[in-house]
């Protein structure tokens, strides 16, 4: 291994450590607790080293969001691949999405609530975000219905899931009705 390859590997390792530490701190104490000073202390590197990887908190949030999008896509695909038939796939997709949002609240915030400097819904959208949407589209596109554009249907279904995730987490919806909400979403919106 050349010196250059070793340095690149070490740099990538530091970057992964910064993202993992930011994510851990955010999940434990919220995003307000994630500062470059605290991150530098936790990873035992100087702030200039941290800034050599990320220009600031915004870029760190973006890196966490991209990681979360990749994880969510994997979770959705795993859930839907084990389901038999369109209704079961859409139900599995909804549960996997809501479970991911509940289990990873700080990551979910990085993906959809905070400014991570990422662009959505255009040519500049980073690949992990496009892939997360594609993971939803794979199952939802088949149930969009006649005359309904599959991507548009997926956006509306995703918006409903996001609303459920956000309102549930905020304590605005009674938790005992969570499963009934999923069934209603699948039955009425996907008409399955």
- Whether 157 and 140 have beta carbons less than 8 Å apart is answered as yes
- Whether 140 and 192 have beta carbons less than 8 Å apart is answered as no
Q: Give per-residue pLDDT as tens, 58-67.
A: 999 999 999 9
Is the dihedral angle over the CA atoms 21, 24, 27, 32 positive or is it negative?
A: negative
> Does pTM surpass 0.75?
yes
Q: Give per-residue pLDDT as tens, 87-125.
A: 999 999 999 999 999 999 999 999 999 999 999 989 999
Q: Could you tell me where the DSSP H helices lie in the chain?
A: 3-29, 36-43, 47-53, 57-81, 86-103, 105-112, 127-140, 150-169, 178-184
């Amino acid at each position: 291994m050349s010196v250059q390859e070793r340095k690149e590997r070490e740099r990538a390792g530091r970057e992964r450590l910064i993202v993992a530490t930011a994510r851990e701190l955010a999940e434990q104490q919220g995003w307000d607790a994630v500062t470059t000073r605290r991150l530098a202390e936790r990873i035992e590197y100087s702030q200039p080293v941290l800034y050599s990887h990320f220009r600031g908190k915004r870029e760190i949030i973006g890196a966490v969001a991209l990681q979360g999008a990749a994880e969510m896509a994997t979770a959705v695909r795993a859930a839907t691949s084990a389901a038999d038939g369109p209704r079961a796939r859409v139900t599995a997709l909804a549960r996997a999405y809501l479970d991911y949002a509940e289990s990873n609240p700080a990551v979910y915030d990085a993906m959809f609530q905070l400014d991570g400097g990422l662009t959505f819904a255009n040519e500049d959208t980073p690949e992990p975000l496009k892939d997360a949407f594609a993971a939803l589209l794979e199952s939802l596109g088949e149930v969009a219905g006649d005359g309904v554009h599959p991507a548009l249907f997926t956006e509306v279904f995703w918006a409903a899931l996001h609303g459920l995730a956000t309102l549930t987490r905020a304590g605005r919806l009674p938790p005992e009705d969570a499963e009934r909400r999923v069934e209603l979403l699948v039955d009425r919106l996907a008409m399955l």
